[in-house]
Chains A and B, each alone.
Chain A
Amino acid sequence: MVIDNGGQWTHREWRVLRDLGAESEIVPNTTPLENIKADGLVLSGGSPRVGLNAEAMGKCGEYIDKSGVPVIGICAGHQFMAAHLGGKAGPSKVPEFGKTLVSIDDEDDLFKGLPPTIVAWESHNDEVTELPPDFVPLAHSDNCAIQAMKHKTKPLYGLQFHPEVEHTDNGYEMFQAFIDVCQAHKKE
């Protein structure tokens, strides 16, 4: 399920999942937890500053804490996840829009087999400034130290850049990797 936080590319996330053959649905972030029936959740990006405004992010916190399925936060979803779990998010010193080079520091599940540096598409004024406890960084860019993060043991991921955008290299592979994580988690 794609949780809609009002991003310009929310519908793209749905499209990439559908293109990869996953059954997918966009729902508002105010959907009650009991109606969230999915094998994995994507917390979408949002309109300006929404990632720092817990109220505008609806029930995203509940989904992270209680849905029991893998969750990936993108842009505002990523920032919210960090702040919600005890890290920090705030205004970027240098906001990034459009084409950015992202260096992958740790392939983990999400970036398995990808080149060390990829072209990624960005659109953010804010970013994660401090990781939550038990999270590790996976990627960075010149202007943003935490382009990707992951929980050490739980299937929780955050990406500052937008893998769903056509111009991001290897975006489909990242979504496929997340689908694989969801399928593996379902079997456990």
Chain B
Amino acid sequence: MFDAEKFIDQQVKKVRDEVEGRAIIAASGGVDSTVCAAIVSRAIGDRLLAVYVDTGFMRKGETANVDKMLGRLGVNHMVVDASDEYFDALKGVTDPERKRKVIGEKFIRVFEREAKKFDAGYLVQGTIAPDWIESGGGLRDTIKSHHNVGGLPADMHLKLVEPLRDLYKDEVRKVARALKIEVAEKQPFPGPALAIRVMGEPTRESVAIVREACAVTEDEIEKAAAAGEMKLPWQYFAVLLPVRSVGVQGDIRAYGFTIAVRAVDSVDAMSAVYSKIPHDVLERISTRITNTMKEKVNRVVYDITDKPPATIEWE
């Protein structure tokens, strides 16, 4: 079976041998990149700078939380607010693959800029196995271009370091526990973030809707799990659909958008089953979303598809 301690020793040694001079790491605050930051910082210390990019697609309170968490981890770090650039770049973009590629390229341009200031020649990424598998290439079909693989521009100047390339999420969590990383059990969150949880163009307005819906969904599910009503799913979130439907709110006709709630159980993200959430919990999510967001949303549906045939995220 997978030996986390041995893996850490091997990778620290490998990074120490491989990286000359300085490096930056693309840090999202998720378990993959945080594990990577801990390993690489163990190997090269202050020659590493963790760069967190606020794309404007982050969840509620996320940027402030990650900033604090990286501080506690004791890694050299900085937060870059690039939200205007991202919303500009995605103006009119609705195709999911296009979104992922635009976001991937933008990430690299921001990292190149910061690397130059820090005088770094390496970019460390927390890429894991499903990222490059699903991104395709050669015989393998492209299921979705993960921003850190399929979104990389051809003329990138930084050398890539990806210590977790052959691991799946469950193995990364084992490494995270061995390193005593506080986000070891945090649910996965995609790099393109809420931009791919809005079907259609991600604007400040549409992203704000799905941000609130995600916050409600996370909060209700976490409360129910803490109260012993259900087991915490592997991943759980909300998606904003471009579908409008008729409703009645306070004796007045409503014509609002639809939120899809998605929750799945998985081990490695390569296959998944939808979570059998108790109806009472689903109802609380639905009522709270439609009551607090009544101007925008008047219908909530639950996604009951496994992977395959669906993927976990909608785009």
Cβ distance A50 to chain B, nearest Cβ, rounded Å: 7
Binary interface encoding of chain A residues 32-70 relative to chain B, with 1 for a CB under 8 A from any of its CBs, else 0: 000000000000001110100000100000000000000
B140 at the interface (CB under 8 A from A): yes
Instruction: Provide the A81-104 mask, 1 if CB < 8 A to any CB of B, else 0.
Output: 000000000000000011100000
List residues of chain B with CB within 8 A of the CB of A97: 308-309
> Distance in Å from the Cβ of A162 to the closest Cβ of chain B?
8
Report whether A6 and B309 are in contact in the complex, using a CB–CB cutoff of 8 Å. no
Cβ of B270 under 8 Å from chain A: yes
Are A56 and B271 in contact, CB atoms less than 8 angstroms apart?
no
B131-139, B250-258, B276-284 - interface stretch: B131-139
Residues of B contacting A7 in the complex (Cβ-Cβ under 8 angstroms)? 140
| Cα distance, A11 to B272, chains bound together (Å) | 17
Q: In the complex, which residues of chain B have a beta carbon less than 8 angstroms from the beta carbon of A29?
A: 139
| Binary B-proximity of A161-173 (CB < 8 A = 1, otherwise 0) | 0000111000000
User: Counting CB contacts under 8 A, is A4 at the interface?
Assistant: yes
B156 CB within 8 Å of chain A: no
CB-CB contacts of B129-161 with A at 8 A, as 1s and 0s? 100011010111101000000000000000000
CB atoms of A48 and B139 under 8 A apart: no
Question: Who on chain B is nearest to A26 by CB?
Answer: B166
Whether B273 sits at the interface, judged by CB under 8 Å, is: yes
Contacts of B306 in A (CB 8 A): 98-99
Where chain A touches its partner, the secondary structure class is mixed
Q: In the complex, what distance in Å separates the CA atom of A123 from the CA atom of B310?
A: 11
Q: In the complex the two chains form, is A6's CB within 8 Å of B138's CB?
A: yes
Asked if B270 and A165 make an inter-chain contact with CB atoms under 8 angstroms apart, the answer reads yes
| Complex contact B270–A166 (CB within 8 A) | yes
User: In the complex, which residues of chain B have a beta carbon less than 8 angstroms from the beta carbon of A151?
Assistant: none
Q: Are the CB atoms of B309 and A9 closer together than 8 Å?
A: no
Q: Which one, B133, B273, B308, contacts A11 given CB within 8 A?
A: B133
Q: Is B139 in contact with A46, judged by CB distance below 8 angstroms?
A: yes
- Contact at B129–A167, with CB atoms within 8 Å? no
Contact B139 A8 (CB under 8 A): no
Q: Which residues of A contact B270 (CB under 8 A)?
A: 8-9, 12, 165-166
Contact B1 A19 (CB under 8 A): yes
Contact B271 A6 (CB under 8 A): no
- The residue on B at minimum CB distance from A162 is B271
Q: Which B residue sits closest to A97, measured CB to CB?
A: B309
B308 to chain A, nearest CB (A): 4
The A-contacting residues of B in range 288-315, CB under 8 angstroms, are: 306-309
The CA-CA distance from A64 to B308 in the complex, in Å, is 29
User: Which residue of chain A has the shortest Cβ distance to B309 in the bound complex?
Assistant: A97
Query: Is A5 an interface residue when CB atoms closer than 8 A count as contact?
Result: yes
Contact of B140 among A6, A12, A123, A165 (CB under 8 A): A6
Contact B139 A47 (CB under 8 A): yes
Contact check, A98 vs B307: say whether CB atoms are below 8 A apart.
Answer: yes
Is residue B168 contacting chain A, with contact meaning CB distance below 8 A?
yes
CB distance from A1 to the nearest CB of B (A): 16
Distance (whole angstroms) from the CB of A167 to the closest CB of chain B? 5
Tell me the bound Cα distance from A116 to B267 in angstroms: 25
Q: Which interface residue of B129, B138, B140 has the most chain A CB atoms within 10 A?
A: B140
Instruction: Chain A residues near B2: list those with CB within 8 A.
Output: 18-19
B308 contacts which chain A residues (CB < 8 A)?
97-98, 121-123
Which 5 pairs show the lowest CB-CB distances between chains A and B?
A6-B139, A97-B309, A47-B141, A6-B140, A98-B306
Residues on A facing B (Cβ under 8 Å): 4-12, 15, 18-19, 28-29, 46-48, 50, 56, 97-99, 121-123, 165-167
Q: Could you write out 19 A-B pairs with CB less than 8 Å apart?
A: A4-B139, A6-B138, A7-B140, A8-B143, A11-B166, A19-B2, A46-B139, A47-B136, A47-B140, A48-B141, A50-B139, A97-B309, A98-B271, A98-B306, A99-B306, A121-B308, A123-B308, A166-B266, A167-B273
